Structure 1
Amino acid sequence: MGKVLTLLVLRVLMNLLLIGWISLWIIKPTTLWIQSWRQAEDIIRHTFFSYYGLSFAVFSFPPIALSIIGLIYLSLLPLYNRSTRGGKSVDFNVSRPAIINSFIGIVSCFEIIALLLFLLFLAWTFYARVSNDFNKLTPIKTMNLELWQLKYFRVATRFGLLAEACLSLLLFPVLRGLSMFRLLNIQFAASVRYHVWLGNGLIFFSLVHGGSTLFIWTITHHIEEEIWKWQRTGRIYVAGVISLVTGLLMWVTSLPQIRRKKFEVFYYTHHLYILFLVSFLFHAGDRHFYWILPGVFLFGLDKTLRIVQSQSESCVLSARLFSCKAIELVLPKHLRLNYVPSSFIFVNIPLISQFQWHPFSITSSSSVDKHTLSVMMKCEGRWTDSVYKIVEEAANSDKNINNMTIRVEGPYGPASAYFLRYDTLFLVAGGIGITPFLSILQELACENRLKSPKRVQLVFAVRTFQDINMLIPISSMLFTPIHNLSLKIKVFVTQEKKHSNGPTTLQDFLAQSQVQSIHLGTEEDYSRFPILGPDSFRWLATLVLITVLMFLGLLIGLCHFFIPSEHKNHSHSMKLAASGEMKTAKEKVPSWVPDLVIIVSYFIAIATGGLAATILKWRRQNREAPRMSKEEVKPEERNFTELIPIAHVEEHEIHIGERPEFQEILSEFGKNLRGWSSIGVLACGPESMKEAVASMCRQRSQCFGVEDSRRSHKKMNLSFHSLNFNL
């Protein structure tokens, strides 16, 4: 009961912080807030914290505090079994697919609501600022502008605030270890598109802001004078130009036409974000930067922690080569490393490339394989082809590649096993998209929970017969009765025809599959090179708190050292004020000095966090890993059992030369359901296939309606989840 109450209190605190931060953004453009904030700055200017401490506490700290509390919440969440089945009588359908388009993908009702609210906020901010500017129009002394030019210049300036709003949220979706989207069970691969949407908005508003400003300078013949000016106070326009150019360069190289064909160009160009953020700071000033600092701060710390983790080396214990040009790698992991099914890792093999990292779904379950972790990859590119060739050469020759070094970052995944809350699962996989479902099915086979799915329908679409081999990791559970779980598989081979003398059942296909197993590691490698995984949530929360306190201390200390503090010699300042000669501390030093203080404080604080993470990793690596038995050292042998026909097992189907008709399959599946059932529909594969599954779910459910299980005439309540196997 105490844990439940603690989780409830933490959830309330997170909601209050989120509502408070959003409220600040809403009231920010109002005259009342502007006047109140100026009064607050005047009051605190003579104190130890000054305006920079106040700005950080009000604008920057709430999202960081939300992250800290969220990490504590996630650390307690596994201790409290939240994975309950869909026994609730009422289900709000805001997560159902609403818009299905090949250009923007699958957009849920919840995402539409969030997008509309964000656009409404942008419209309110723009209207409030522009209307206030038009009511107080004053000519610019250094530029002789006509009325329309002056109004247009003010409008262009306010577009910069819209770009600032997009920038404040831009980096949150690409956090991994410190991701707050995990609280909503939104995985990293799904949240990346929010980063894309915000990035498009940022570039659009920045282009209007910068382009319109340059246009006004051009027609008034002030462009050469203004663009290169590095004034002592106020906006630094050349920094704005640099920020705009670097932003455009990152945006162009991130277009799908370039990113998919020239990924390295996209990846390395995106590192210009450092120059972009520094230029933005010098252009907009420190007061505006405090609004976007939370995302920048958490992203910098998250990036540092990922770099620290990725430096640890592990090894490949064994591999399996499939005839469909797929390969499964088995890696050692620490006994305490647990992950949720459908999680993924980033993999780097220095033998192929020192810099290329590729994401792969985990195919094993930490509930089954206590000491190993498996990933499967399909050879469809140069990097994966190289991995396949290295292992194939080792299998076909006497070449010794023991201790094949590999670096791993992750695992990353949802905070809880969300699929356990459904009565039934309807899984749709296309090709290599089967990989996250291999982990889910193994988890279901070993679960003893009373509240977990009892019926599972897997629809697996492949191009050739050889692709069916990818089911071999779960072959032992396909033809063996599983307690309290009914599993049925429909396999569709779309690009081949049935052979007269060939196998006819799934069991025959798997029995004739050509799979080659190669052992690359030794028993000692399990304890020498285990994958430790990310740091615990509690340690991450502590690290964020330590780092943010370090940053705040450095910020205040350096500002007091480099910026004359007004609470000193206050009586002397009062005399100067009486004579009209007093200047604020902000006016006594160049405006870029506080910007430099922020940069120095930021990098020192992040470096301190990285040092603490490195020390912790070193301590974890030096702890003696538990020794394992001979059976545990070779877990892959468990999946190579003979496929003996067993009675009372679901008959799996193979359809050759056909494509799956999801409506028909679901209707047939629904006939066997008793009463009302909540169904989790999970799809992973090509975008066209996921869009077809989403369309089926949209037709069978309302978007914003509320369904009552006691009154609804429908037997099925569908909840759609899209899983990505590529980024």
Structure 2
Amino acid sequence: MGTEGSHEPLIISTKEDNSFGYIKKPSFLLKSTKWVLKIAMWLIFISWASFLFLLPSDPVNNLYKKFVTATNGTLFGVTGSIFLIYSGPVIIIAFHAIIYLKITEGEEIQEKKEKTASFRLWTYPVIIDGPFGVVTAAELIGIVLFGVYIIWAVTAYTITNISLLPLFQVTDAGKRYVILLELTGLRLGFIGLICLAFLFLPVARGSVLLRLIDIPFEHAARYHVWLGHLTMLLFTLHGLFYVIGWAIQGRLIQELIAWKSIGIANLPGVISLVAGLLMWVTSLPPVRRINFELFFYTHQLYVVFIVFLAMHVGDFIFSIVAAGIFLFMLDRFLRFFQSRKTVDILSAKCLPSGTVELVISKPPGLRYNALGWVFIQIRELSWLQWHPFSVSSSPLDGDNHLAVLIKVLGDWTEKLKGRISSVTGDKSVTDSLLQPNFALKASIEGPYGHESPYFLTYENLILVAGGIGISPFLAILSDILHRIRESKPGLPRNILIVWAVKNSDELPLLHSLDINSICPHFYNVLNLEFQTYVTRESEPPLEEGKIPSYASSSKFPAPVGGGMSSLVGTGHTIWSGAYMVVSTIGLVLLVAYLNIFYINPYNITHWWYKGLLFMVCMAASVILFGGFVIVLWHLWDIKTATNVEKNSTISGLGHDESNGYKNPSQEGFVNVIKYGKRPNFEDIFGNMAERWGNVDIGVMVCGPTALQTSIAKECRSKNFKRTSNEPIFHFNSHTFDL
């Protein structure tokens, strides 16, 4: 197939299909319900965010105080009022999101492909080399809004603090300075709590909120990092201002170890801050990159940080941040249950390029996208280490398994490679195939990723990969080919894959996808071109063109209860929604019973103790009420899996049924391999701009940070210099870098 021009699609279908990600035309009632839910969620969010932003102003602050005072006599008291104002909107939006996700599940992608190019804030890179990495226009707006809020809040509270000084009736300048320091520290602590209210939302991997806005966990983790730095800076200044004030007054030690019954308990705050500082320091890039395990293990101190924070501020102040922490607890408890189940690894291969492929059993109903992620733990290698890997197979390759490609780079991956080699008895490792009955087991969390296959919203794609970064793009290509074979409408028509590798022994990875086997006549619909760059070799090796062969078996055997667990936030909308709703109801009931039968009758007034009890109620609601739903979900999962096993058999991975590498025909697409060169993205993007014209081009990159930066710069440059007849390049990064 030639590389010039583009073919019109010859395969067009108008039939309805309920397969994942495609057509299920909703009724008018469902459409109306969806819009009502969307409008309601936006109104709640805007009202909540506006309240938080305007709270430092006197009018809003006075209204807030009046509301709290008016509801103080209720069963839940001040704690209930503050929880309703600060955390209630987040929970209510999450409830709406469950219904919305269920309604839109399996719907056709709503973002239609336009005939002419148009800008999108979330794919337009603006800042490239700043402290935040590659920042899109939408992310920049969020950063600016947070920055404006911090400046506005600090300014407003400083003015308020100065106006309050006469109330203390202190004439000594030194004492007035100390009072101002402590008031400023108090305000900084409150602003830190507002940031903390958002901090845990991005790291609830299967959260309905992330699914609602279609931000995958690997992207949301960046926002957690940004918020973490800001939150810890504010909390550090909060503590520092108090320490300076106490030191000036000569009562530093007494205050640091003070544990008041009524009011703020200082010592729990010190413990919480120390735990937070340890997490913060070890998360800084110089420490994290040198010793990732130190960062990972130290980060488990978040439990100490949160528990002692609750004891430091008491229940009613802690309820400001309760929603985000509660949603994270729900996700963490569910992940704990999913990871308890060991999973059958159907096959494992060590490839010549120093890459391991694992094919993992999964239940048919566990849905994911071609750009999904899973977290893998292999207890024979380590009881503590979890590693994220991109799924290299399409969900259309088969219902009962998924595949991941793992580059051997560190100690854990070296152990995995050695383990596979030891089972097969092949010491060379390079040509080993692990038979399906081997003793290696894995624990899995996930899959996670985009809620919808967003790559299908582009008619024109440029996929840029570095080394093992080709893995998710193999999944994308397989997914598109399957959809072409099934006559799906609205698919990409032009795809350019640019792949940079260090050595030619990585090239066989491309042949793991037998394109012509999946869809022999795809070239009638799709223009596909590969450009491969081997950067450390100046000429082809003598063995070029020879694809290594492996022992083969025609089919993978059915696992015996060893598939992945579907107990994951992204696994089943109804069950995961019921888990959250029942747990929330449980929290309300437990707090109510605690007030009725313990706190009020026994006149419990200790702030730190009530904060601890509130945390216990949160944990108990997740464990008891949420655990009850998890048990029912698990039983339903077993029954469903049993019914499926009776009516189906498990076949091999669609792109590699023989369990070994094939030498696929090159018919239907261009594959150019260049040695001793790096890709010139300015020329590549320029050629595509001339060829495709005034269209949207989805640019996806998976690889090292330097590669992402280069692609983002080129997208920004081309978009800034764009004329009316040229395309807009939409930057999308697919990488997981903590």
- Looking at structure 2, the residues matched to 399 and 122 of structure 1 have their Cα atoms a distance apart, in angstroms, of 56
Runs of at least 5 residues in structure 1 that lack an aligned partner in the other structure? 566-584
- Looking at structure 2, the residues matched to 347 and 36 of structure 1 have their Cα atoms a distance apart, in angstroms, of 50
Q: Tell me, yes or no, if structure 1 residue 513 matches structure 2 residue 552.
A: no
The residue that corresponds to 2:70 in the other structure is 43
Structure 2 matches for 1:289-438, cutoff 5 A?
289-396=318-425, 402-438=438-474
Query: Secondary structure at the residue paired with 2:513?
Result: helix
Q: What letter matches 1:120 in structure 2? A: V
- Looking at structure 2, the residues matched to 7 and 346 of structure 1 have their Cα atoms a distance apart, in angstroms, of 32
Query: Secondary structure at the residue paired with 1:652?
Result: strand
The residue that corresponds to 2:301 in the other structure is 272
- Which of 601, 606, 617 aligns to 2:622? It is 606
For the Cα contact (< 8 Å) 1:315–1:521, is it kept in 2?
no
For the Cα contact (< 8 Å) 1:697–1:719, is it kept in 2?
yes
Structure 2 matches for 1:169-180, cutoff 5 A?
169-180=198-209
**CA separation of 1:194 and 1:179: change in aligned 2, threshold 3 A:** farther
Moved more, 70-79 or 196-205: 70-79
- Looking at structure 1, the residues matched to 540 and 114 of structure 2 have their Cα atoms a distance apart, in angstroms, of 47
The residue that corresponds to 1:621 in the other structure is 638
Q: What letter matches 2:459 in structure 1? A: D
Q: Tell me, yes or no, if structure 1 residue 722 matches structure 2 residue 733.
A: yes
Displacement of 1:528 in angstroms is 5.0
**CA separation of 1:294 and 1:672: change in aligned 2, threshold 3 A:** same
Displacement of 1:685 in angstroms is 0.2
The Cα offsets for residues 368-406 of structure 1, whole Å up to 9 and x where unpaired, read as 222221111011111111211222233345998624211
**CA separation of 1:547 and 1:629: change in aligned 2, threshold 3 A:** closer
Q: What letter matches 1:495 in structure 2? A: R
The residue that corresponds to 1:216 in the other structure is 245
Displacement of 1:212 in angstroms is 1.7
The residue that corresponds to 2:605 in the other structure is 589
- Which of 508, 529, 546 aligns to 1:488? It is 529
Displacement of 1:533 in angstroms is 5.9
Query: Secondary structure at the residue paired with 1:429?
Result: strand
- Looking at structure 1, the residues matched to 393 and 648 of structure 2 have their Cα atoms a distance apart, in angstroms, of 19
The Cα offsets for residues 297-351 of structure 1, whole Å up to 9 and x where unpaired, read as 0011110000011111211111222101101111122222221111010111122
Query: Secondary structure at the residue paired with 2:382?
Result: coil
For the Cα contact (< 8 Å) 1:83–1:418, is it kept in 2?
no
Runs of at least 5 residues in structure 2 that lack an aligned partner in the other structure? 1-27, 427-432
The residue that corresponds to 2:698 in the other structure is 680
For the Cα contact (< 8 Å) 2:400–2:650, is it kept in 1?
no
- Looking at structure 2, the residues matched to 26 and 645 of structure 1 have their Cα atoms a distance apart, in angstroms, of 60
Moved more, 485-494 or 604-613: 604-613
Superposed structure 1 runs of 4+ greater than 6 Å apart: 518-522, 628-631
Displacement of 1:549 in angstroms is 1.2
Q: What letter matches 1:540 in structure 2? A: S
The residue that corresponds to 2:46 in the other structure is 19
Displacement of 1:354 in angstroms is 2.1
Q: Tell me, yes or no, if structure 1 residue 105 matches structure 2 residue 162.
A: no
- Looking at structure 2, the residues matched to 116 and 235 of structure 1 have their Cα atoms a distance apart, in angstroms, of 33
For the Cα contact (< 8 Å) 1:364–1:374, is it kept in 2?
yes
For the Cα contact (< 8 Å) 1:680–1:718, is it kept in 2?
yes
For the Cα contact (< 8 Å) 1:306–1:409, is it kept in 2?
yes
Query: Secondary structure at the residue paired with 1:241?
Result: helix
Q: TM-score, normalised by structure 2?
A: 0.88
Displacement of 1:423 in angstroms is 1.4
- Looking at structure 1, the residues matched to 564 and 283 of structure 2 have their Cα atoms a distance apart, in angstroms, of 35
**CA separation of 1:689 and 1:646: change in aligned 2, threshold 3 A:** closer
Q: Tell me, yes or no, if structure 1 residue 497 matches structure 2 residue 538.
A: yes
- Looking at structure 2, the residues matched to 240 and 528 of structure 1 have their Cα atoms a distance apart, in angstroms, of 45
For the Cα contact (< 8 Å) 2:369–2:449, is it kept in 1?
yes
Q: What letter matches 2:398 in structure 1? A: D
- Percent identity reads 28
**CA separation of 1:283 and 1:521: change in aligned 2, threshold 3 A:** farther
**CA separation of 1:553 and 1:101: change in aligned 2, threshold 3 A:** same
- Looking at structure 1, the residues matched to 30 and 69 of structure 2 have their Cα atoms a distance apart, in angstroms, of 44
Query: Secondary structure at the residue paired with 1:438?
Result: helix
- Looking at structure 2, the residues matched to 263 and 432 of structure 1 have their Cα atoms a distance apart, in angstroms, of 20
The Cα offsets for residues 557-603 of structure 1, whole Å up to 9 and x where unpaired, read as 212333337xxxxxxxxxxxxxxxxxxx99x7222342133122112
- Looking at structure 1, the residues matched to 617 and 565 of structure 2 have their Cα atoms a distance apart, in angstroms, of 33
**CA separation of 1:601 and 1:90: change in aligned 2, threshold 3 A:** same
Query: Secondary structure at the residue paired with 2:447?
Result: strand
The residue that corresponds to 2:724 in the other structure is 713
- Looking at structure 1, the residues matched to 464 and 566 of structure 2 have their Cα atoms a distance apart, in angstroms, of 32
Q: Compute the RMSD of aligned alpha carbons.
A: 2.8
Displacement of 1:37 in angstroms is 3.4
The residue that corresponds to 2:155 in the other structure is 127
The number of equivalent residue pairs is 691
**CA separation of 1:408 and 1:16: change in aligned 2, threshold 3 A:** same
The residue that corresponds to 2:57 in the other structure is 30
The residue that corresponds to 1:456 in the other structure is 495
- Which of 669, 676, 679 aligns to 1:657? It is 676
For the Cα contact (< 8 Å) 1:362–1:375, is it kept in 2?
yes
For the Cα contact (< 8 Å) 2:312–2:608, is it kept in 1?
no
Displacement of 1:284 in angstroms is 2.3
Query: Secondary structure at the residue paired with 2:657?
Result: helix
For the Cα contact (< 8 Å) 2:287–2:295, is it kept in 1?
yes
**CA separation of 1:122 and 1:518: change in aligned 2, threshold 3 A:** farther
- Which of 261, 265, 284 aligns to 2:290? It is 261
Displacement of 1:139 in angstroms is 3.0
The Cα offsets for residues 602-633 of structure 1, whole Å up to 9 and x where unpaired, read as 12101121342144224413541425877824
- Looking at structure 1, the residues matched to 68 and 125 of structure 2 have their Cα atoms a distance apart, in angstroms, of 47
**CA separation of 1:93 and 1:467: change in aligned 2, threshold 3 A:** same
The Cα offsets for residues 27-68 of structure 1, whole Å up to 9 and x where unpaired, read as 322333343334333333333343222222222111012122
The residue that corresponds to 2:25 in the other structure is none
Query: Secondary structure at the residue paired with 2:674?
Result: strand
- Looking at structure 1, the residues matched to 662 and 223 of structure 2 have their Cα atoms a distance apart, in angstroms, of 47
**CA separation of 1:517 and 1:116: change in aligned 2, threshold 3 A:** farther
Displacement of 1:185 in angstroms is 2.8
For the Cα contact (< 8 Å) 1:308–1:610, is it kept in 2?
no
- Looking at structure 2, the residues matched to 419 and 527 of structure 1 have their Cα atoms a distance apart, in angstroms, of 34
The residue that corresponds to 1:74 in the other structure is 101
- Looking at structure 2, the residues matched to 363 and 526 of structure 1 have their Cα atoms a distance apart, in angstroms, of 24
**CA separation of 1:171 and 1:203: change in aligned 2, threshold 3 A:** same
Query: Secondary structure at the residue paired with 1:316?
Result: strand
Moved more, 267-276 or 79-88: 79-88
Q: TM-score, normalised by structure 1?
A: 0.89
The Cα offsets for residues 165-215 of structure 1, whole Å up to 9 and x where unpaired, read as 221111111111115233333221111111111111112111211112111
The residue that corresponds to 2:506 in the other structure is 467
**CA separation of 1:502 and 1:180: change in aligned 2, threshold 3 A:** same
For the Cα contact (< 8 Å) 1:317–1:520, is it kept in 2?
no
Structure 2 matches for 1:130-279, cutoff 5 A?
130-137=158-165, 138-139=167-168, 145-279=174-308
Moved more, 556-565 or 3-12: 556-565
Query: Secondary structure at the residue paired with 1:2?
Result: helix
For the Cα contact (< 8 Å) 2:288–2:295, is it kept in 1?
yes
- Looking at structure 2, the residues matched to 65 and 4 of structure 1 have their Cα atoms a distance apart, in angstroms, of 21
The residue that corresponds to 2:584 in the other structure is 548
**CA separation of 1:677 and 1:592: change in aligned 2, threshold 3 A:** same
**CA separation of 1:655 and 1:562: change in aligned 2, threshold 3 A:** same
The residue that corresponds to 1:700 in the other structure is 718
Displacement of 1:21 in angstroms is 1.5
Displacement of 1:527 in angstroms is 6.1
